[in-house]
Structure 1
Amino acid sequence: MSGDTSGVRDMATKDTGGGQQKATRSTEEVEEQAAETQASEDLKERQEKLSDDVDSVLDEIDDVLEENAEDFVRSFVQKGGE
């Protein structure tokens, strides 16, 4: 029976090692998830900044078009009438 007992001890030792590996994997998964979350937040901030920049440029273009609309229409009508 002493042979059976040592076999059980070996298996218990191996199981403990596997449990530690799972804990390590779990920690790595948590770290990867945290990195992905941070990257996602960075992308959202970047997208918001770009969106604000695009809106600003479009507003500027709109203002210029409003100021020059009358001249543009006159120019267009003159060219069309010639």
Structure 2
Amino acid sequence: MASKDSETKKHAGTSPSQEEKDQVGQVPSHTRQKAEEIKEEADTLVDQIDEILEENAETFVKSFIQKGGE
């Protein structure tokens, strides 16, 4: 009998099974709404980072370099 972890790893990167689709349908609507809001916020953040990198990637990277004992 395969464990749930091994089944998850086995199916990673594949389309969801009917069982997984059914489970998604059982998620409360407020949870789905919150998940969508978080996804949109993350997408917005990634877009902002992309814009900064397009403008000046070198300055962006240098801002993360530690100086002295920081």
TM-score with structure 1 setting the length = 0.37
Structure exhibiting the larger radius of gyration computed from Cα positions: 1
Structure with more of its chain in helix, by fraction? 1
**RCO higher in 1 or 2 (8 Å CA, sep ≥ 6)?**
2
TM-score with structure 2 setting the length = 0.43
